[in-house]
Structure 1
Amino acid sequence: MSQSPVQEQPAKDPLAPNVEDLYLESYAFTTAAAIVGSVDRKIFVVLRDGRNVFGILRTFDQFANLVLQDTIERIYLDSEKKRFGETYRGVFMIRGENVVMMGELDIDREDDHLHEWQQIPFPEAEKELHSVQAQRIKDQKVKAKNLLAKGLIDDFSRSDLY
């Protein structure tokens, strides 16, 4: 009986790029898989109801449902007075259909703009946001009525308040 020779595997250079990594970077994802590069990085998400959340993306699924860790919810109020409120939310799960926009943050510069803004208590910011949104809904109802009188329809949705 002959024994087959054992072939030695070449030593792997730890600094050499992994073939799979190169393949993933060059592949243009058009699905939820496009956010695979953002896992374990700090991101921001704008939600349909107008909220902004910031946290570390831990996982996602094919529907773009997201799980964020160390999440902070921030409400920006009128850009003239430059006020904001924020609160810690911890682990936060976001249903994909509620995501309007998301992106990675530069952790060295993410809070630079807040130096010009005044922080107010979160419950106060939340209350003001709800009153602004209620007024917007009222205004949209009037607009929809006027458009309907002219034979047109309005595509405003109460859940889209961003």
Structure 2
Amino acid sequence: MNYMPGTASLIEDIDKKHLVLLRDGRTLIGFLRSIDQFVLHQTVERIHVGKKYGDIPRGIFVVRGENVVLLGEIDLEKESDTPLQQVSIEEILEEQRVEQQTKLEAEKLKVQALKDRGLSIPRADTLDEY
């Protein structure tokens, strides 16, 4: 098959299991069903915290191409060969909450340390996304 730039080159990836990393940081795993809009079937949202992960079932998921940071096929033979431990949805969500709280507290300390020195960092929500 000749190489075709853009989404046309993904035609041979249809019906294969893929990991998709989104611009907002979420990780999805599902079967690619369409490439005009990225349509994933039997999708789970995978949350990683340390050496643990949890999967939240999401069903059919439609993603606009501009939101895809990374798309990769999953080798089904090696899929279960992972050093990570799968935990319940409740446990991974709690681990994620604790991790985010820890990061927030560290960021507050950093901002205070800079402020004590007469410096500041612009807030992320005031910066242009692009």
Q: TM-score, normalised by structure 1?
A: 0.59
Q: Partners of 1:98 and 1:122 in 2: how far apart?
A: 24
RMSD between superposed Cα atoms in Å: 3.0
AA partner of residue 119 (structure 2): A
Matches of 1:69 and 1:88, distance apart in 2: 11
Moved over 3 A (4+): 133-146
1:46 and 2:18 aligned:
no
Matched, 1:119 2:86: yes
Equivalent of 2:3 in 16, 23, 27: 27
Is the CA contact 1:77–1:125 (under 8 Å) kept in the aligned structure 2? Answer: yes
Structure 2 CA distance for aligned equivalents of residues 99 and 130 of structure 1: 24
Equivalent of 1:89 in 33, 40, 58: 58
Q: What is the percent sequence identity of the aligned residues?
A: 36
CA distance in 2, matches of 1:54, 1:73: 6
**Number of the residue aligned with 2:45:** 73
**Structure 1: how far apart are the matches of 2:4 and 2:102?**
42
Aligned-partner SS, 2:78? coil
2:12 aligned partner: 37
1:149 to 119, 122, 126: 119
How many Å separate the matches in 2 of 1:144 and 1:38? 45
2:8 match: secondary structure: helix
The structure with more radius of gyration: 1
Shift of 1:72: 1.9
The answer to which structure has the higher strand fraction is 2
Q: For residue 58 of structure 1, what is the aligned residue in structure 2? A: 33
- Correspondence for 1:107 among 68, 76, 93: 76
Contact persistence 1:75–1:84 (CA under 8 A) = yes
Q: TM-score, normalised by structure 2?
A: 0.71
Partner amino acid for 1:90? G
Which ranges of structure 1 fall in alignment gaps of 5 or more residues?
A: 1-21, 158-162
User: What is the CA–CA distance in structure 1 between the aligned matches of 2:11 and 2:89, rounded to whole Å?
Assistant: 32
- Relative to structure 1, the CA distance from residue 84 to residue 153 in structure 2 (aligned partners, 3 Å threshold; closer, same or farther) is same
Distance 1:139 1:90 in 2: 36
Distance (Å, rounded) in 2 between the aligned partners of 1:69 and 1:103:
15
SS at 1:101 equivalent: strand
| Pairwise CA distance, 1:108 | 1.3
